[in-house]
Structure 1
Amino acid sequence: MKTSTRCGIIGLLCWFVPSVGVLVVLSLLGLGELLLGDSHPFPGDPPAADLLAWVALLGWLFILVGYCFFFLARKESDRIVHLWRRVLPPVALLSLLAMSSSLAQLAGRHWGEWGHLKAMLQDNEVRVRAFSSRADGALSEEEFARAKLWLLEQPVTFQFKTEPEPAKLRLMRTVPPYLGVDFGRGQNAVFDPVTMHCIYSD
């Protein structure tokens, strides 16, 4: 047996149980979010879908390492190779399906109503940074105060169809991105204006 093949089998032996465990946990977390998730546009405190997406990404990267071992040992008739081939793909598919709701929430922030909100955040982030006298767009304390006053005098709102009251754009951070979304009822969130990943919520 080649050294690479032997390493592959040893890797599969070490990786199999943790990999199944990771995928089962991802599946349970995804199902929990699917059953308990809220249709309200506020991402939550903490932002469950965003956190689950990162957890899922890390989990699937862990599984990918195991598949590297599988690639090395795939031609062997060892029991662990057959076990990996039969068990991991369906469990991985189950985790993907369970996480689909969270992934869809994140993807949905790039079109439709969320797409318009994203464009508003990007446009007004540029306007806020225009108050800066620095090349990198960072605001001094005085510039931040002027930008905040400007936004109060010219409020920017966005109406979700499912919500009775419009959401408001407000200055929420002293470092970029400066703008956040006030969803009302004390619910606030800041999104990366490019990825729309929620980086802060309360």
Structure 2
Amino acid sequence: MIRVISVAALTLLLILVLYLPAAHPPERFLAQIRAEHALNVAFWGEHSALHILERALAMNTAAASASPVPSSSQAPSADRMGQAVAKEMERVNQRFFGNPYFRSIDALLLLACFRLSCQLDWLPAQTCLLLAIVIDGLMVRVLRSKEFKPHDPELFVLFASAFVLLACTSIVAFVVPLTIAPAAFAGLLPLEAFFISRAIANFHHRG
């Protein structure tokens, strides 16, 4: 059951992520970043908002540097024939990857990096809470086994499936060009940790 839900959710996620760049121009994603940056300035303050934006740009630069697309600047020096081939390949790459769809993909990736950076700003304040939630699930699992109480496989499937769906939904939320309030990121990780904790608590314990 969990495998079916995981495969279906990941398939729908892939279809949606590939569809969004075709449905929206790159300017739409960039405008969304500017709008949410203004919200971050109002919520966190200008210094923290700029830190979030700088971290997002650094993450996007790191992701772009890992691109497998070759460029003429990365090509080793060679004779005139080799340089001509390298320049022609560069022109082909520009024609292929410079179209509006791939520019929208780049803008979508930048939006995802920006929202991930917003999420990471909540992590230091929530670390202890997340650990407490997960440890609670581990303790409940151990105590049930010591008290010979049965674990509920239906609840395990329910919470594990809920975690998979929430994880896929959060990825979609990171790339959809709709405004997300800064405070909305506060509840995502605790909710995911709760689903993991309940799945662990209802997983069969041996020993």
Q: Same fold (TM over 0.5)?
A: no
TM-score by length of 1: 0.33
Q: Which of the two has greater helix per residue?
A: 2
Q: Which of the two has greater strand per residue?
A: 1
